[in-house]
Structure 1
Amino acid sequence: MPVHAPAILVLEDGRTFRGDNYGAEGETFGEAVFNTGMTGYQETLTDPSYHRQVVVMTAPHIGNTGVNDDDPESSRIWVAGYVVRDPARVPSSWRSVRSLDDELRAQGVVGISGVDTRALTRHLRERGAMKVGISTVETDPAALLERVRASGEMAGTELASQVSTEAAYVVPALPGPWGEKRFTVAALDLGIKTMTPHRMAERGCEVHVLPATASLDDVNAVNPDGLFYSNGPGDPAATTHQVEVLQAALAQGLPYFGICFGNQLFGRALGFGTYKLKYGHRGINQPVIDRTTGKVEVTAHNHGFAVDAPLEGSTTTPYGEASVSHVCLNDDVVEGLELRDASGALTGFSVQYHPEAAAGPHDAAYLFDRFVDLMSTGPEARSARTSTDADADADEKEA
């Protein structure tokens, strides 16, 4: 077993924890948040939504299944730092190709182990998410505290452009009873996870993943049946370009589906505000009610901001009537929105949680089917059917 150097963790309020280095040696800073998941740590580590955040795992034993090359949700680890209590000494899984410690070290991610993560989590629940530093090179907590307090804030920061793809790419539709392809989806990558376009491809969607800087012309260039906005990091109030693109897309009647950050930007496009939660929702055990079906889902979350929309009634917007479709049963936070036209037909919807959750739970996977249904009855589909009917009528008259 390797010998690990001592490490310290200092929160911006001065609370200090000591432990051992886990992963790369060095120093790192970010926003301290906690994740309640007991599995799926590879999905957490490689989720771009965790960019510039130091993740505290509440489950005491982490790393027991090692690391494989199939489960990452992006091309790299995005967390700024990693905090665990009891790391696995030896990974045990037939899929494992290396240890989590080795992977963190290889990607330069500074972490700390041997920390009382229960005490740290309780502190963050009481005081709220805050800036933090982890160091294996600094022994003086007061000196590290100065650097922690001088580090950047999460509120007011635009980060989606830092994690987005630089060039557009296509995820082909997977064949099924419908043939090779059913729909074309334009997906703005604000920090998209690999599993998201895969879930759509499974349903016959050809997904054109576009950079976060894409314009409405870029969206329309792929002739989409629907528009999708992904999860991602940062403050939605600081992300303005994508809101403007979404408003223009809604105005032309393009069916819309958004996840997580895509829910927050949908809210802002509809005229609602957003705000920072005290410590956020991160984990795989959050109960949410879908008001359209009355069913309660156990869901996976990763968000530090939320939409400020009225829980009851509807709000008139330039694009139709907007209302809250999903609510967290723990704290009544808005977890989904829907938009309907004058006839009451659904034209767009979003959820704050992750229906694509690779490690589960999978209660919310039906939302991808809802998007497919929306595209099958959306304005593009109606226009195509009208044109087909008109051509058939013309042929009949000529005959």
Structure 2
Amino acid sequence: MEQGYLILETGEVFEGTIIGKNQECIGEVVFNTGMTGYQEMMTDPSYSGQILTFCYPLIGNYGINLVDDESKKVAVSGVIIGDACDKPSHFLAAKSLSAQLEQAGISGLTGVDTRSLVQSIRKSGTVKGVITKNPFYNKELVQQYESPFWVEQVSTTELISYKNDGPHVVLMDYGYKKSILDALLHENCSVTVVPYHFNFKQVQELKPDGIVFSNGPGNPMELAGQFEEIKKMTQQYPSLGICLGHQLLALAYGARTEKLAYGHRGGNHPVKELLTGKVRMTSQNHSYVVMEDSIDPKELIITYRNVNDKTVEGLKHKKYPVQSVQFHPEAHPGPSDTAHIFNEFIQQISSVGVVNYAVK
């Protein structure tokens, strides 16, 4: 095993041991506070282009199984770990974490002082970094790195259909998690997954009963060319936006988004449901948020708010059957606190979908 380094654009250097594929990788360095779920995190397309730091010190102890991947391949550019366990103990484990990284061609570092790294990110904000064997890697090359348009790289290029007996839902794929698809299928929905660039007429031809706008990587403003089409869809069909989808719905109705200093990533983010006053524990993974002062109160109302930093976590349209959440209702960080959001979406389809199609 070779010594490796994480070199940040700030010039800070963190030492460790290379695991997985022994090659350089560069990306935005982020951290997740979750104690479990490393397999789901690494395969979540929202992490595309990012070097993921695990706050929990021991990663890999229950191995990698064949059922919990959120996409068909590892999405992260690299991983940073305090202590990587290479001898997992779990009855579903099919391979080790390092074997998963090796097979996927992904680099990682173990033996890193992740606490110090996270403190650095919290102090300076999310930074770019490189995993390398060269301790003298030029930090200016890291500073100059520009991320590609990741949504285009992770979205499907063809229609994918799943038949069921319930309502037909179009899933706009900006990098959707398999758990979202599973949640819709669990509600007995037929689902058609479509490319991110599908316009209103193309969606209309599929004759959906509702639309889900998925999560995904990157800056939502990279999809500015889709805002008008997204707005048309939401004015015609019951709609649910999740994470990036939430941001896109807000932007389509004139709101503004900004990047957080170091994002929300973890499985224990408390969110207050404003209608009831209840606090829900949520799973989150995002860098951008909708700015409250940019929301038109004549169009949208705030439904959820983050307890920690008061940021907007959910929206609902005053006229159309449109709702969105910044967190992941399909995730299960412990209890299923927010699974009811999918039930509400299906109820909206049942109550307004009949009216919509009666006039067609």
Q: TM-score, normalised by structure 2?
A: 0.96
Name the CA distance, whole Å, in 2 between partners of 1:201 and 1:242. 27
Question: Which residue of 2 is the match for residue 54 of structure 1?
Answer: 51
Contact 2:32 2:54 in 1 (8 A): yes
Aligned to 1:98: 95
Q: Is the partner of 1:44 in helix, strand or coil? A: helix
Contact 2:172 2:196 in 1 (8 A): yes
Read off the aligned partner of 1:130 and give its amino acid letter: V
> Counterpart of 1:237 in structure 2: which amino acid?
M
What one-letter code is carried by the residue in structure 1 that aligns with 2:159? Answer: A
User: Which amino acid in the other structure matches residue 41 of structure 1?
Assistant: Y
- Look up the equivalent residue of 1:110 and give its one-letter code: S
Percentage identity across paired residues of the two chains: 36
Q: CA deviation at 1:43?
A: 0.6
Q: Is the 8 A contact 1:230 1:258 kept in 2?
A: yes
> Where in structure 2 are the equivalents of 1:26-45 lying within 5 Å?
26-45=23-42
Q: Give 1:267-306 correspondences, 5 Å limit.
A: 267-306=250-289
Code of the aligned partner of 2:349: M
In structure 1, runs of 5+ residues without a counterpart are 174-180, 388-399
1:146 maps to a residue whose letter is E
Report whether the alignment pairs 1:197 with 2:181. yes
- 2:319 is the alignment partner of 1:357: no
CA apart distance, 1:124? 0.5
Deviations along 1:221-269, whole A, 9 cap, x unmatched? 1111111100000111121233222111133x31110100000001101
CA distance in 1: counterparts of 2:201 and 2:53, whole angstroms: 41
Give the distance between the partners of 1:383 and 1:105, measured in 2 at CA: 51
What does the per-residue CA deviation read over 1:100-124, in whole Å, with 9 as the maximum and x for residues that have no partner?
0011011111110100101100111
Structure 1 counterpart of 2:318: 340
State the one-letter code of the partner of 1:149: Q
- Matched AA of 1:16: V
Whole-Å separation in 2 of the counterparts to 1:24 and 1:384: 53
Structure 1 partner of 2:355 = 382
Name the amino acid aligned to 1:6: Q
Structure 2 gap segments, 5+ residues each = none
| Cα displacement string for residues 318-342 of structure 1 (whole angstroms, at most 9, x for unaligned residues) | xxx311111110101111111021x
Higher-Rg structure is 1
Cα pair 1:213 1:241 within 8 Å, conserved: no
Following the alignment from structure 1 to structure 2, what is the Cα–Cα distance between the partners of residues 106 and 326?
A: 40
Q: Does 1:187 align with 2:194?
A: no
2:46 maps to a residue whose letter is S
2:108 counterpart residue number: 111
Residue from 3, 12, 37 that aligns with 2:9? 12
Inter-partner Cα distance in structure 2 for 1:204 and 1:334: 30
Task: Work out the CA distance in 2 between the residues paired with 1:301 and 1:263.
Answer: 13
CA contact (8 A) 1:43 1:359 kept: no
1:170-200, Cα deviation, whole Å (9 max, x unpaired): 1233xxxxxxx22111110000011111111
Contact 2:25 2:78 in 1 (8 A): yes
Contact 2:255 2:296 in 1 (8 A): no
Is this contact kept in 1: 2:86–2:98, CA < 8 A?
A: no
Q: In the alignment, which residue of structure 1 is the partner of 2:347?
A: 373
Contact 2:283 2:333 in 1 (8 A): no
- Residues 279, 55 of structure 1: CA spacing in aligned structure 2 closer, same or farther, 3 A cutoff? same
User: Is 1:276–1:304's contact at 8 Å kept on the other side of the alignment?
Assistant: yes
Q: CA deviation at 1:309?
A: 2.3
Q: Is the 8 A contact 2:282 2:333 kept in 1?
A: no
SS in 1 for 2:297: strand
Q: Distance in 1 between matches of 2:170 and 2:233?
A: 11
Aligned with 1:240: secondary structure?
helix
Q: Give the CA deviation at 1:166.
A: 1.1
Q: Give the root-mean-square deviation of aligned CA atoms.
A: 1.7
2:93 partner amino acid: S
Supply the distance in 1 between the matched residues of 2:260 and 2:356 (Cα, whole angstroms).
Answer: 42
Task: Extract structure 1 runs of 4+ deviating beyond 4 A.
Answer: 358-361, 383-387
Tell me, in whole angstroms, the C-alpha distance in 2 between the residues paired with 1:170 and 1:63.
34
User: May I ask how many residue pairs the two structures share in their alignment?
Assistant: 360
